[in-house]
Chain A
Amino acid sequence: MSDQSVTEFKAESPALEAWRMFRRNIPAVIGVIMLMVIVGATLYGTFLYGGDPFEIVWAPHEPPGVTPEFPLGTDYLGRNIVAGMLTGGGPTLAVGLAAAALTMVIGISLGALAGYYGGWVDNLLMRITEFFQVLPALLFAMVLVTLLSPSLWTIALAIGVVSWPQTARLTRAEFLKIKELEYVTAARAIGARNKRIIWKVILPNAAPPLIVSATLTIGVAILFEAGLSFLGLGDPNVMSWGLMIGANREYILDAWWPVTFPGLAIFFTVFAVSLIGDGLNDAFNPKLRER
């Protein structure tokens, strides 16, 4: 180390420090690269296969690697699996992101109010949270989707409505901890209002665990969407990985490929997201890295 670097020492911002940690975390970087490849393939694939992934293009159950035009083979109707893989990722990812965003918005709002105000507000909101935790999430989402008739938006809405309780609890716990700290008292002393303290003072300081939780929520939401589409409760007019598995389910003993590839796609997407989530977690909590 040269003298210069000592004399020019500057304090690093926490975000920058976290980024530096994250960058050194090999699994997390692999996760980012995997996710970029998957997102790139689904974006590019939609253009590449401008045609209809539902279109029957060849004989049914063509095994992978036999015909160069259909490297992953065809399904039970003779639809191109590569086309399904490329176009089916978009809806899955979009629903996952939208549902996770909704989950975070509901969870953070309710958790922040409960943790900050305490008393009867906390009591009421926590009872509501417990109530939602009693309902088996997938079953409740199935009921909501059926009642509202399935489309990408109602699916995202249903997933969001059933998955916020954990985020609310986490946010509440963070708020309970942070609101006792001196800088919050200081903010109040200079006359900041509750609204400002909640959103501008406490929330940014509660951000690290919430960002990690948001990442993991995306993974859970993707699995959720896949499960619903698998059961045939997705939008029937939109190709998705879950739908491909569900549609070909009856024929798994005749052909393994139509269900295996979409499943791998879901797995690698969620795996990438959770590697990133773990990496962020480590980056924000350097002390926990040994665990």
Chain B
Amino acid sequence: MNTSYILRRLFYGLLLMLGVVVLNFLLIRLAPGDPAVVIAGEMGGATEEMLESIREEYGLNKPVLTQLGIYIANVAQFDLGESFFFNQPVTTLIGHRIGPTILLVITAQLLSIVLGVFLGVIAARKPNGPMSAFVSVFATIGYAVPVFWTGIMLIILFASVVPIFPVEGMQSVKLRDAGFFVKALDVLHHLILPAFTLAIIYLAQYARLSRASMLEVLGSDYIRTARAKGASEGSVLFKHALRNAALPILTVAGLQFGNLISGALLVETVFNWPGMGRLAFDSILRRDYPTIMGVLFFASFMVVVANILTDLSYRLADPRLRGR
């Protein structure tokens, strides 16, 4: 893989983030009223002194372009302002919340890709078999169910009917003093329902996509060659065919990442998962704009990073692209 490509990709990612910062700046000014009051939050509790210090910090008395410059410079130093509701710097606030969100999103992504591809590959073996029918029906249903409602239904099921999974939060209070290993298991136990809820929609899509992609590949000459030389069915499916069918799946996985974060927002709210989505929800209800803008910034940042990683893994998966 060549370095100049990676550098170009990183530079482009940086430009996108600069765009997000400018957008944040514009959004604050889109809100009706005095920006200082908007930033302080519509709590009604902002004193004139507080407003003055905000005006000072954001340079609100200066020309708009200077204000933009100050804002960009602040963000470049990872200073996203102060949340007046939580009474903490926004970066600290998000620092506590970003871990659980990444854990949830990555788990859901892996769960949906692994299970979805597995279902799709099995379905592709018999294009008109019952598994294929199941995959199409499941994909259409998975697409149509509101993710927050799935979560609620699972909570009702697992809280009262079969109480085997915790339905709220990320950790049990009673295990506060337990060892690391016990705590980790506890988090995983709490993770099962939210991750599965989030994974369902995408699982269905990956199943449908990998089925279509596999069907295309299974008709090609090299698969016939592999079969002719006596490769086992498992080896043909998972080694020869899946490697070639993987590219469209990878592309969609990269594009899906932003949607996954949107979904995580709802799922975190339903399951009281202490992540960024929950923080976004709380801060929006309180009109705590510095925090909202901070969440928008970091969520976009996660998408940009995911896109760059997808691009790079694309090149690892397909040797034909490496020279470019």
Contact = CB atoms under 8 A, between A and B. Distances in A.
Interface of A: 130-131, 133-140, 142-144, 146-148, 219, 223, 226-227, 230-233, 242, 245, 249, 252-253, 256, 259-260, 263, 266-268, 270-271, 273-275, 278, 290-291
B296 A143 contact: yes
Contact of A259 (B141, B143, B149, B258): B149
A138 B277 CA distance: 10
Contacts of A137: 258-259, 262
Contacts of A146: 284, 287, 292
B178 interface: no
A270 B150 CA distance: 14
B140 interface: yes
Contacts of A274: 140, 143-144
B39 interface: no
Contacts of A242: 146
B280 interface: yes
B10 to A, nearest CB: 14
A139 B144 contact: no
B145 interface: yes
8 contacts: A136-B265, A143-B293, A231-B284, A232-B285, A242-B146, A245-B152, A259-B149, A275-B140
Contacts of B281: 231
B127 interface: yes
A206 B31 CA distance: 39
B266 interface: yes
Contacts of B147: 227
A227 B147 CA distance: 8
Q: Is the interface of B mostly helix, strand, loop or mixed?
A: helix
B146 A227 contact: yes
Interface string B287-298: 100001101100
A135 B300 contact: yes
B296 A135 contact: yes
Given A135-B20, A275-B140, A227 B266 contact: yes
A98 to B, nearest CB: 19
A91 to B, nearest CB: 15
B303 A136 contact: yes
Contacts, number: 127
Contact of A147 (B31, B140, B141, B307): B31
Contacts of B143: 219, 270, 274
Contact of A253 (B141, B160, B215): B160
Most buried by B among A252, A260, A266: A252
A227 B281 CA distance: 12
Given A134-B258, A146-B284, A252 B149 contact: no
B16 interface: yes
A247 B215 CA distance: 45
B258 A233 contact: no
Contacts of B73: none
Contacts of A290: 127
B225 to A, nearest CB: 24
B266 A266 contact: no
B107 interface: no
Contacts of B231: none
Contact of B16 (A134, A139, A267, A291): A134
Contacts of B19: 131, 134
Given A226-B146, A233-B284, 15 more contacts: A133-B303, A134-B304, A135-B20, A135-B303, A136-B259, A219-B144, A230-B146, A231-B269, A245-B146, A252-B155, A259-B152, A263-B152, A267-B145, A290-B127, A291-B212
Contacts of A133: 255, 258, 303
B228 interface: no
B161 to A, nearest CB: 10
Contacts of A268: 144
B250 interface: no
Contacts of A267: 144-146, 149
Contacts of A291: 127, 212, 215
Contacts of B144: 219, 223, 267-268, 270-271, 273-274
Given A146-B287, A253-B159, A278-B140, A139 B146 contact: no
B114 interface: no
A286 B261 CA distance: 36
Contacts of A140: 296
